[in-house]
Amino acid sequence: MKKTRVINSDISRVISTMGHFDTLGIGDAGMPVPAGTEKIDLALEAGIPSFMQVLENVLSELQVQKVYLAEEMKVQNPEQLAAVKKVVGDTPIEFIPHEDMKKDLNDTKAFIRTGEETPYSNILLESGVVF
């Protein structure tokens, strides 16, 4: 059995296949996922698991060089934005329109759906390198 925090086999598999500049999405229960994008559905019920629980778990294993958040999060969900900023630390954040984020899901390795039901709780993680 794995010793690291990420024990979900699908999430672990996707992380292990990521290369430099690949992206992985994590988001709320309502984010539309394109048909060609792998969806790892963790949602059990409203709020379970939370967006932040999943983000913190993934960040424990994935080397991230940049994150993308919806511009709308600044006004519509400032509490979640503050929580994201706290866990990503010095990692650069780029804000993009939510509509662009939905389009960008076409090019992600996968999208992890959480039970989160707060607005604009979505993120794209851009993979970095460990060397």
- Residues designated catalytic: 20
122 is in an annotated binding site: yes
120 is in an annotated binding site: yes
**Could you give the CA distance from residue 125 to residue 32 in angstroms, rounded to a whole number?**
17
DSSP 8-class letter at 43: -
- Residue 124 near residue 67 (C-beta atoms within 8 A): yes
Q: Which amino acid is at 127?
A: S
| Strands 122-127 vs 23-27: parallel, antiparallel or unpaired | antiparallel
28 is in an annotated binding site: yes
Nearest alpha carbon to residue 111 among 26, 10, 52: 26
Q: Does the annotation flag 121 for ligand binding?
A: yes
Is residue 90 a known part of a binding site?
A: no
Q: Extract the tokens encoding 32.
A: 């539309």
Strands 39-41, 122-127: pairing kind: unpaired
List binding-site positions: 28, 98, 120-122
Residues contributing to the annotated binding site for substrate = 28, 98, 120-122
